[in-house]
Amino acid sequence: MFPAPLYREQLSLILSDVLDDLGVNEQMVMRRRKLMKLYETMGTITMMSTGTNMTFYILGSQIEGTTTKGLKPDIDVLACVNNFNVIQDLSEWEHGKENYLMIQDENTTPGYCFLQLIQSHKPVPVTEIPDDHHISEEKRILHKNAIKRFLPNLPPNIEQNGPSVVKQGQHQGISDKDYVHAYPCKSWPQSASGWLKRQGTGRWPTHQMRKLAAETRCFVVPTGSKVCVYPELEWRISTSLAERFLIFNFNITQIRCYVLLKMILKSSLNPKGEINISSFMIKTILFHCIENTELSIWVDNNLLTCMIFCLQELHSCVQNEQCFHFIISENNLMAGQFTLETNHELSQNISDFIQNDRQLLLRIDTDDLGYRLQVKLNMVPPKVHGSLTSLEISALLYINFAFEVSGNDFVLLQELQNGNLEKMKQSVAELVSLMTYIDSGEERKHTVFKFLAPLAFTTYGSALASSSFGANNQALRKAMDWLSAGLDSDVSSGRLKLASVFYSIGEMEKAAEILRQTEQKYLSHHVLPICSCVARSLPTVSEDIVRYCNEHKEDCIKRITAFCVRFIRLEINCIPRELQYEMFRSTQDDMIHRDPDDVWMDWATVDSLPFLYFLQYKIYGHLQRQQEKHQALNNLIRTTFTDGNLTHRETALNILGQCMEQENRPNDALHYYIYSLKERTRNNAAKIHLCRLLCKCYSNL
């Protein structure tokens, strides 16, 4: 490596300090990895409990810890379809799976393959052409890489992007999810076998690291190369888990170098905003640079020198249009990537940055990096209100995880909504079984169980209670046992379901006591409402919540978050009549204006705090505790109009309007229903209430 100018050592330390402030430090990297592995396990369990034999793997910068808020990273999800089996030899054929033989010949691009369909009952090639397949000149039945095989009908919030589909984040501040569906390979690809023996100057990766990397799963992904002859037939061979494993073995300087290179890529290198150089190319170049240098240079006071070295390698790659995959070395990632004009412009941009690294670093606006550097160098005064601190970034990670828990519960309810009680019982049993036997770390299984299972228990308990009305007490006792097992899902939603059941069976004192305890828990902390039903901005996060999240890690979800309360139709007898209208909010005309993700509109969904005060209003009325009843009504009014974090405000307004009818205040009820329609003009039960109220008023004339 070339000698570095003297200023680079000092600037490297300052730059490392700035990246530390942005959350690129060992503690935050490990926190991201832990939470993303929980995402992985939770998504796999959710899919399998709904009968989909799929394993989720989180890839890319979120789980690597190689990102910042300003880089706006997606969550890259590889969804491995386990019913398939990609083999390199017929001896690897498996009975009961859809087997494909990997074909690599003169017609395939290095790093890519064709998939020849093999019979399911014996290891011989198929001769008849099924859908999504093509017969080659060699009479092979080859699988097309059309994404419609996986997702025939893409919802409106799903965008196709090459081999992947992007699901936009439900809330501002929550990452989009980039899904790639893939088939698993039975064994390590032969085209990658040479890498296992290769050894660079830095003796990295070690022999043991290569051995462990080769034990990870490999996949084929439905996409062809840019220079292939048969783009609809090629599948890319992916060693993404091995690459993830290698990054897990980076030191913090190597991680910071990668983050810095991505910031430079975003701000300076790709001309005209086009993505000609991908972050995967940058990652590959970094792998090669680490492999071919002594590990002793990868330290914080050498960060800029390491960065320049990587940029010089990138410059050479662009000029030669050659960037070879780190593991499958025949695969040129830059083949067919650039026009002559783009190549010249990229080369010039990279050269300019190498020659003027200090000045151009000060201009990077991603995460205010340039400004932060100027502050550290005493070039400008600090702003009064700075960017996010590491503690705030950490808290947002846990809040994102809470939304992930809510989202997975949503998927489970979506599966259960059209079933019966017996099917729900089987699904809950399957969920518990998967928590016990899924192939992942014991600690992760326990953590996922701790968050997902209580929500499933309360739903099953409530549905069981709903079906037990008028039946024997034994069935109701079982329902109460399930509801009790789900009380600690979060601050409020499990308890509110139990209180709703007590209200429905006439146990008013018990319901009042549950509500008293819930209100006490809710008011003892700064509680954050969490709901994944509707797209909206992230809830406001106070300093107390930031501190609490960092003190209690993922356990904060149970103590300071309040999930919205969701009732599917199997639970209809366990909710107050006023809320049952929400299950029938959509007219035939409204249905046309619903997205596929709007299945919650067939449920009764309500934010925790308004539901708490509404139940208090109803229960205290039955108990003749008039002062507490009117206090609950005032709390419901205040919360409905002043709480900026409510997701289902139209529902709160609808139940508030019905309270006003019961108070013999029809004019106020009318105003609240109108306010509700302003919140949501379609798919709103307020239309029912307005018609009903106007009819009642007309009848009383």
CA-wise closest residue to 276 among 236, 352, 336: 336
Give burial (CB, 10 Å; 0-12/13-18/19+) of 305.
buried
Q: What is the pTM of this model?
A: 0.89
pLDDT value, residue 133: 87
Tokens found for residue 281? 């190319």
Task: Let me know: does 565 contact 497? Beta carbons within 8 Å.
Answer: yes
Rounded CA separation 571/604 (Å): 9
pLDDT below 70 — which residues of the chain? 1-6, 147-175, 271-273, 384-388, 434-442, 470-472, 701
Give residue limits of the domains in the chain.
74-249, 576-701
Instruction: Please give the pLDDT value at position 272.
Output: 64
- For residue 387, the model assigns a pLDDT of 61
- Find out whether 496 and 614 touch, Cβ atoms under 8 Å: no
Residue reference for tokens 């529902």: 651
Beta bridge partners of 116: 101, 142
Is residue 527 within 8 A of residue 561, CB to CB? The reply is: yes
CA–CA separation, 553 and 196 (whole Å): 38
The answer to whether 633 and 617 are in contact (CB under 8 A) is yes
Nearest to 621 by CA among 629, 611, 630: 629
Hey, what CATH class is 576-701 in? mainly alpha
Angle, in degrees to the nearest 10, between helices 493-504 and 508-524: 160
What gap in Å lies between CA 572 and CA 441, rounded to an integer? 38
pLDDT of residue 268: 85
What's residue 471's pLDDT? 61
Closest CA to 187 of 214, 224, 221, 222: 214
CA 309, 313, 314, 319 dihedral sign is positive
